[in-house]
């Protein structure tokens, strides 16, 4: 295919309303309780009593204490409808002082707590397993300050990622992370999961972008590490304890984050590729040709695209290919960036790395292309019961697990999709089966984790360990590391009231 064709290729516009980023698929029936489904034994926390509820009502006001069963349902079920708890109380504190008073009371009264942000987590960490009190950060959504010169934003943990990004855009800045759940997830949840997302290859992970954190320990003590400095080597870097610890060491209440300048020139190329080897060659070429302007390099296989097209009614602008690559560039000089991208695309053509493609510069035409990629996690939920594996593998082995799983499962699987963040070595293997079946799951787990571990990969690249993966954490962490994690947990939360049954193996 000639380059001219690529440049002039017309994409038919997809009505964007067809793609609802964070909507939840309709529930035909409620998921089984996690305690039964996964055979978990309740730890010896106290049961919530009326006197406890009265304490919370006096502290927060009645409207910030939910006890009505129908109101509690969405806080008890996770996004993929896999896990279900039976909490009887949801608390919606307004400020750090509220969180501190709640935790002190819960610690003194031996009551377990499940911190919750936007409840978009994919490993069951955000919902209770038994009757843990849900502490939602929904009510803590104020932007505290924005320094337009340094680009440092300070805000409360319950701010929705997309709202923060919209606010920053008015000041020519942007959030350093972006993910399909941005319309619902909270920045506190992002930090607690160390969320990766679509542009990690450009802006790095949150251990780098987050400058400071304010968090509350299990006993109610407020740990103020809310610095806004880019350099501060005074002692241990405590903020890192809260980044990625999934609510097991403390509750994040405020955040300061370094925000990059908004790029004035954005281009997106969507390319069809014959095989995975060529995807890797394309990535290598993109790194050398596009250099500093490359902001995303995502891939999806044919099955992944089929889901968004079939279930979300999106259109594929380039026709059917075995693999698809989405490359985004973000820079400050339109002609420079487009010259670089054009030169790169010419090279991909002459070396036959790309079979067909489209290259867009208009936001209205870029959006539907991103929708094809961002919609996959949601679209596959329409296929049945979905098992999500989020692994890091060396790039040469990145896609190898997908054909293996297809071979292993045969007709047990409705669909198996492989897609993800090539630039980060992180593949998402989504396996849809007709309905929950321990027999089928036994064919996948622990095999997939052993496979990953043998290749020195990670069994959780970006979604965390949560409730679903503590039994598999040892495939990526040594006993000595797990021992130190347990010591830290004991030090910071001796009674274990914060997000029990999560992250650490029992
Ligand atoms: P929740 O789901 O509410 O909670 C997640 C965990 O953090 C839980 O363990 C919870 O207890 C804890 N927690 C929440 N808030 C706090 C707090 N203030 N203090 C302490 N602990 C807290 N993830 C990625 O990494 N990359 C992606 O590209 C990505 N894309 C996604 C796309 C879709 C469509 C969906 C549904 C999810 C995606 N995710 C992705 C997963 C999820 O969105 C992220 O993990 C996100 O960071 C969770 O934020 P949340 O506010 O929803 O947290
Ligand atoms: C993504 O990259 C998210 O789209 C979600 O991390 C992946 O649902 C998944 O498996
Ligand atoms: Zn991802």
Closest ligand to the CA of 389? 2
Q: How far apart are CA 377 and CA 304, in angstroms?
A: 9
Identify the pLDDT of residue 20.
Answer: 35
**Ligand 2: which atom is nearest the Cα of residue 388?**
10
Ligand 3 center to residue 113 CA distance, Å?
Answer: 27
Question: Residue 54 is inside which H or E element, if any?
Answer: helix 50-60
pLDDT at position 360 is 95
Mutate to test the pocket of ligand 2, among 24, 376, 416 (most ligand atoms within 8 A of CB): 376
Confidence band of 292 (pLDDT split at 50, 70, 90): very high
7 confidence band (pLDDT: 50, 70, 90): very low
Buried b (16+ CB within 10 A) or exposed e, 76-100: bbbbbbbbbbbbbbbbbbbebebbb
Quote the distance between the C-alpha of residue 71 and its chain's center: 25
Q: DSSP states of 474-486 as a string? A: GGTS-HHHHHHHH
Decide if pLDDT at 424 tops 80: yes
471-491 pLDDT, tens digit each = 999 999 999 999 999 999 999
Q: Of ligand 2's atoms, which has the minimum distance to the CA of residue 376?
A: 4
Predicted local confidence at residue 28, as pLDDT:
63
Q: What is the pLDDT of residue 6?
A: 37
pLDDT digits (tens, 9 = 90+) for 18-37: 333 334 444 568 999 999 99
CA of 118 to the centre of ligand 1 (A): 7
For 184-225, write each residue's pLDDT tens digit: 999 999 999 999 999 999 999 999 999 999 999 999 999 999
Residue 160 has pLDDT above 50, yes or no: yes
| pLDDT tens-place string over residues 102-145 | 999 999 999 999 999 999 999 999 999 999 999 999 999 999 99
413 pLDDT more than 50:
yes
Instruction: Render pLDDT for 34-65 as a digit per residue (tens, 0 to 9).
Output: 999 999 999 999 999 999 999 999 999 999 99
412-438 average pLDDT score = 97
Contact 289, 353 (CB under 8 A): no
Report which ligand 1 atom has the smallest distance to the Cα of 421.
28
Ligand 1, pocket residues at CB < 6 Å: 79, 114-122, 125-126, 137, 157, 179-181, 185-186, 188-190, 192-193, 195-198, 246-247, 251-252, 377-378, 462-463, 466, 499, 502
CA–CA distance, 451 with 398 (Å, rounded to integer): 12
* pLDDT the model gives residue 334: 94
Exposure on the CB side of residue 483, measured as CA atoms within 13 A: 3
Q: Which ligand is nearest to the CA of 177?
A: 1
Where residue 9 falls among pLDDT bands split at 50, 70, 90? very low
Question: Topology of 3-15+263-377 in CATH?
Answer: Alpha-Beta Plaits (3.30.70)
Give the burial class of 443: count Cβ atoms within 10 A of its Cβ; 0-12 exposed, 13-18 middle, 19 or more buried: middle
CA of 464 relative to ligand 2 center, distance in Å: 12
Percent share of the chain, pLDDT over 90: 94
pLDDT for 287? 97
Stretch among 4-18, 294-308, 323-337, 342-356 having the lowest mean pLDDT: 4-18
Residue 5 pLDDT greater than 90, yes or no = no
pLDDT digits (tens, 9 = 90+) for 302-323: 999 999 999 999 999 999 999 9
Q: What is the pLDDT of residue 506?
A: 87
Q: What is the mean pLDDT of residues 64-70?
A: 96
Render pLDDT for 228-268 as a digit per residue (tens, 0 to 9). 999 999 999 999 999 999 999 999 999 999 999 999 999 99
Nearest-10 crossing angle of helices 50-60, 96-108: 160
pTM: 0.95
428 CB less than 6 Å from ligand 2? yes
Angle at 233 between CA 231 and CA 239, to 5 degrees: 85
Mutate to test the pocket of ligand 1, among 119, 189, 300, 489 (most ligand atoms within 8 A of CB): 189
With beta carbons less than 8 A apart as the criterion, state whether 12 and 315 touch.
Answer: yes
Query: Domain residues of the chain, as ranges?
Result: 3-15+263-377
85-87-92 Cα angle (round to 5): 120
H helix intervals, 291-323:
302-311
Q: Examine the pLDDT at 12 and tell me if it is beyond 80.
A: no
Q: How confident is the prediction for the chain on average, in pLDDT?
A: 94
Q: Dihedral sign, CA of 168, 172, 176, 182?
A: positive
pLDDT reading at 2 higher than 80: no
At 251, list the tokens: 């509750």
> 188: Cβ–Cβ under 8 A, 6 or more apart, which residues?
115, 117, 137, 140, 156, 157, 158, 251, 252, 253, 255
pLDDT of amino acid 164 = 98
Q: How large a percentage of the chain has pLDDT more than 70?
A: 94
Please state, in angstroms and as integers, the Cα–Cα distance from residue 456 to each residue in 58, 452, 477, following that order.
Answer: 52, 6, 11
């Amino acid at each position: 295919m000639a380059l001219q064709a690529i440049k002039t290729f017309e994409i038919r516009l997809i009505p964007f309303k067809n793609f609802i980023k964070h909507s939840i698929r309709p529930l035909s029936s409620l998921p089984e309780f996690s305690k039964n489904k996964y055979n978990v034994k309740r730890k010896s926390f106290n049961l919530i009593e009326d006197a406890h509820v009265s304490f919370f009502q006096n502290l927060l006001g009645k409207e910030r204490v939910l006890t009505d069963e129908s109101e509690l349902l969405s806080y008890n079920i996770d996004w993929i409808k896999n896990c279900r708890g039976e909490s009887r109380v949801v608390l919606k504190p307004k400020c750090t002082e509220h969180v501190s008073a709640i935790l002190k009371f819960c610690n003194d009264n031996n009551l377990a707590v499940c911190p919750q942000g936007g409840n978009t987590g994919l490993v069951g960490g955000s919902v209770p397993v038994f009757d843990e009190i849900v502490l939602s950060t929904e009510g803590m959504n104020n932007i505290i300050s924005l320094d337009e010169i340094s680009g440092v934003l300070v805000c409360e943990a319950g701010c929705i990622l997309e709202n923060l990004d919209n606010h920053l855009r008015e000041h020519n800045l942007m959030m350093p992370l972006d993910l399909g759940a941005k319309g619902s997830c909270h920045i506190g949840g992002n930090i607690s999961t160390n969320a990766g997302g679509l542009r990690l290859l450009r802006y790095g992970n949150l251990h780098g972008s987050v400058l400071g954190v304010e968090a509350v320990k299990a006993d109610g003590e407020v740990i103020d590490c809310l610095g806004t400095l880019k350099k501060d080597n005074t002692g241990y870097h405590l903020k890192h304890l809260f980044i990625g610890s999934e609510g097991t060491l403390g509750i994040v209440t405020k955040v300061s984050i370094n925000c990059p300048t908004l790029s004035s020139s954005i281009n997106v190329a969507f390319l069809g590729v014959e095989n995975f080897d060529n995807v890797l060659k394309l990535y290598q070429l993109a790194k050398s040709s596009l250099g500093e302007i490359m902001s995303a390099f995502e891939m999806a296989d044919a099955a992944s695209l089929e889901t968004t097209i079939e279930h979300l009614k999106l259109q594929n602008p380039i026709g059917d290919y075995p693999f698809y690559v989405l490359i985004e560039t973000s820079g400050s000089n339109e002609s420079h960036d487009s010259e670089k991208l054009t030169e790169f695309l010419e090279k991909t053509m002459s070396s036959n790395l790309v079979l067909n493609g489209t290259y867009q510069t208009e936001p209205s035409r870029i959006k539907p292309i991103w929708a094809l990629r961002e919609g996959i996690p949601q679209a596959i939920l329409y296929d049945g019961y979905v098992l999500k594996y989020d692994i890091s593998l060396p790039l040469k082995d990145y896609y190898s697990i997908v054909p293996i799983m297809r071979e292993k499962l045969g007709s047990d699987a409705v669909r198996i999709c492989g897609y993800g963040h090539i630039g980060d070595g992180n593949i998402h293997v989504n396996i849809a089966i007709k309905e929950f079946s321990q027999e089928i799951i036994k064919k996948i787990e622990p095999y997939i984790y052993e496979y990953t571990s043998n290749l020195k990969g990670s069994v959780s690249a970006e979604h965390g360990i949560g409730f679903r993966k503590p039994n598999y954490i040892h495939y990526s962490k040594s006993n000595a590391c797990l021992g130190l994690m347990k010591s830290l947990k004991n030090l910071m939360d001796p009674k274990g009231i914060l997000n029990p049954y999560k992250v650490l193996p029992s």
